[in-house]
Amino acid sequence: MPKNLAKFQRDIHAALDAVFQRALEQEREEGPTVFDIRSAKFVIFSDQHKGKRDNADDFLICERAYNAAVAYYDCLGFTLIVLGDVEELWEEWPESVVKAYQHTLALEQKFHQDGRYLRFWGNHDDAWSHPDLVEQWLIPALGGIPLKVRETLILHIQDGKEELGRILLFHGHQGTFRSDRIRPISKFLSRYFWRPIQRFFKIRVNTPTEDFELRYAHESAMYAWSEEQNKVVLIAGHTHRPVFKSESHEEVVRRRLKEAQEELRKHPNNVKLRQEIAKLSAELEWVLAQDRLSPKDLPLIEFKKPSYFNSGCCAFRDGDVTGLEFSEGEIRLVRWPDDEDHPLPKVLAKARLKDVFAAC
């Protein structure tokens, strides 16, 4: 946990205030971006971390699932939103990554040529914050069609003529020390020290940080900022941990386990409750292992509003990818592939957008 938690939270909040202001200024220049829940269909993926197909490439094992998902959503007419860290440009040069994943970029090009494509830059692909590099490498890879890679964007979510609320989109590294404030130093160390070690020892690491207390503090700060807003839902990536309606999978399981244990104390002979606790305990350990054994003593956050969502990542060690899907008036957390390892989405959680914004 950061030594000065209050200062850490103030830094994150100040950064998010600044991002929101930049998004508002951008909107005044370009006009509002509107999605009507009666017809709009879009899907958000982040943190692919595409490399150049070597031992340090975190995306390689997830390529199959991601390409299948992108092809699926293209056929259904979805808008594709890629929310930063799409290419691993701390460790690689743009040319090598673009050449390594020409087919994946060709799949994304189909969205772009139909006007159904939004691109954001994160800390690991901040090269795309420079229009000259976008023009040199990314635009040719996407068919030569002009492209603006954004830091942030506000989506106005409507139901017909009624505005339900706004979604603030950005990668999520803003305000952090290593990924934002000393980003050039972090990039240098990653490229010239960490990358050679990864390649030599064949280490693929797709977790943004091993410090789970720091990640907990970061996500708590982002949630706290979103809670203070009125009818604003914050959607980010960066942490690699899927969050739905402000709760991660781990937090959902912890809460259900705590409730079941409290109920068992009232009814100690309830066999069904004991079986439920056993299943939840197993599920919690599964999640902890996937998250590289995060500490168990972190307090549960009291979530009052479903105002923070996170798309997770497309670089999980088991080859899965997660994203947020919007259609038919719903928001869904999805995982590719499904439980049978078929190239289909598995819905992990869902909610009506009208209900989400009503609670915000």
pLDDT score of 191: 47
Instruction: Domain count for the chain, please give it.
Output: 2
The answer on 289 and 174 residing in a single domain is no
- CATH number where 224 lies: 3.60.21
Is the domain of 316 the same as that of 352? yes
Tens digit of each residue's pLDDT (9 = 90 or more) over 56-71: 898 999 999 999 999 9
With 80 as the cut, is the pLDDT of residue 223 above it?
yes
Output the pLDDT for position 295: 54
Q: For residue 64, give every residue at least 6 positions away whose Cβ sits within 8 Å of its Cβ, in sequence order, or none.
A: 319, 343
Give the chain's radius of gyration (CA, Å).
20
Confidence of residue 183 (pLDDT cuts 50, 70, 90): very low
* % of the chain surpassing 90 pLDDT: 71
Residues 341 and 214 in one domain: yes
Give the C-alpha distances (Å, rounded to integers) separating 139 from 89, 134, 257: 16, 6, 49
Closest CA to 121 of 28, 186, 46: 46
Confidence at 233, pLDDT banded by 50, 70, 90? very high
Query: How much is the pLDDT for 178?
Result: 54
- Give yes or no: residues 24 and 53 share one domain: yes
Which range marks the domain in which residue 286 is found? 249-300
Q: What is the pLDDT of residues 292-328, one digit of tens each?
A: 545 555 665 666 899 999 999 999 988 999 999 999 9
Q: How many residues does the chain have?
A: 360
Residue 297: its pLDDT value, please? 58
73 pLDDT band (50/70/90 cuts)? very high
Distance CA 83, CA 152 (A): 9
Residues 16 and 89 in one domain: yes
Distance CA 360, CA 348 (A): 22
